[in-house]
Amino acid sequence: MRLEDPAGEATGGKVPLPAVAEQPTESPPPRRTHLVTVVTRALGGQDQSDPGATLRERYWNPHERRWNEADFDSMESLLRRHVEEAGWELLQEQRLDAPLAVELIFKAHRVDFTRPSREQILRDIGMTPDDVSDLLEHVDREQEET
């Protein structure tokens, strides 16, 4: 350990102490957590759904104060939507006694429910999910041609 300052003068045998990093005096407010129970079921022939969808989810949205329903092609895409895209934490998964029927319990934050959905964002700019799929297919075709 160096016992002299950068100018080369002795420090008198005292070892200088490192500076203590300043800590923020205020911490951000804690995010309110919310437990979300999502129930899934298989889609039947009488259900109107997106092409390729095999299951429907349903959960209560506390911000909109209504039930939300969405269709998915697989359980993996449903989990990816909530865990990877929305940032929810899966706490429990329980298989039920009907085909594709599962009860999922997630830990989410109240702020997650105040954000606009992907569909709402697309509607705001005048597009639909089908428009995005068509656009991506067009880009893929152009890449294959080159």
Tens-of-pLDDT digits for all 146 residues of the chain? Answer: 555 556 666 656 666 666 666 655 666 666 778 899 999 999 987 888 878 899 999 998 887 788 999 999 999 999 999 998 888 999 999 999 999 999 999 998 867 666 666 777 888 888 887 888 888 888 888 888 87
Give the C-alpha separation, 92 to 25, whole Å.
37
Are both 95 and 127 inside the same structural domain?
no
**Number of domains making up the chain:** 2
Q: What is the reported pTM? A: 0.58
Nearest to 104 by CA among 35, 38, 55, 29: 38
Are both 45 and 106 inside the same structural domain?
yes
* Structural domain boundaries enclosing 65: 33-115
For residue 103, tell me if it sits in a domain. yes
Give the C-alpha separation, 80 to 107, whole Å.
15
Are both 80 and 45 inside the same structural domain?
yes
Give the C-alpha separation, 42 to 100, whole Å.
5
Sorted by sequence, the CB contacts under 8 Å of residue 49 that are 6+ apart come out as 43, 56, 71
Give the C-alpha separation, 127 to 27, whole Å.
40
Nearest to 70 by CA among 47, 88, 93: 47
Give the C-alpha separation, 27 to 90, whole Å.
27
For residue 81, tell me if it sits in a domain. yes
